[in-house]
């Protein structure tokens, strides 16, 4: 992904970080739980979203015989997007430098070797 892809100057997709900031602002403006409680609840929202991914995977594979196939892999993709967006908004809730924190962490991950040390 190029820098242009994350800033919205390439393609037609919305710019990632400005959109995260916008979502964060909208949530902050309507929050019923400001302060530390709101931060914790926003982070806890991740668990709910991950659960929805699991539900979609189980629904895609028909693991619940009583329900059968209730989801598609497109549903799983959508739920995974919700997890990613929720995580980025939670990160933005913790710091106004969410982009910098994310980029530094991504750089560390990219530079980390995949093989175990010998």
Residue 35 reports pLDDT greater than 60? yes
Q: Count Cβ atoms within 10 A of the Cβ of residue 45 and give its class: 0-12 exposed, 13-18 middle, 19 or more buried.
A: middle
Three-state secondary-structure class, residue 54: helix
**pLDDT over 70 percentage in the chain:** 89
Give this prediction's pTM. Answer: 0.82
Q: Average model confidence (pLDDT) for the chain?
A: 90
Residue 118 reports pLDDT greater than 50? yes
Question: What domains sit in the chain, N to C, each tagged with a CATH number?
Answer: 19-111 (1.10.287)
Phi and psi for 8 in degrees, rounded to 5?
A: 90, 10
Phi and psi for 63 in degrees, rounded to 5?
A: -65, -25
């Amino acid at each position: 992904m190029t820098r242009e892809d994350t800033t919205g100057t390439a393609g037609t997709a919305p710019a990632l970080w400005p959109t995260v900031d916008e979502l964060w602002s909208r949530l902050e403006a309507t929050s019923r739980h400001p302060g530390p409680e709101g931060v914790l609840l926003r982070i806890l929202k991740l668990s709910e979203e991950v659960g929805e991914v699991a539900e979609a995977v189980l629904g895609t594979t028909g693991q619940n015989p009583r329900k059968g196939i209730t989801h598609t892999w497109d549903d799983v993709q959508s739920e995974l997007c919700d997890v990613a967006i929720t995580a980025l908004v939670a990160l933005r809730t913790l710091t106004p430098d969410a982009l910098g924190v994310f980029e530094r962490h991504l750089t560390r991950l990219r530079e980390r070797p995949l093989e175990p040390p010998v």
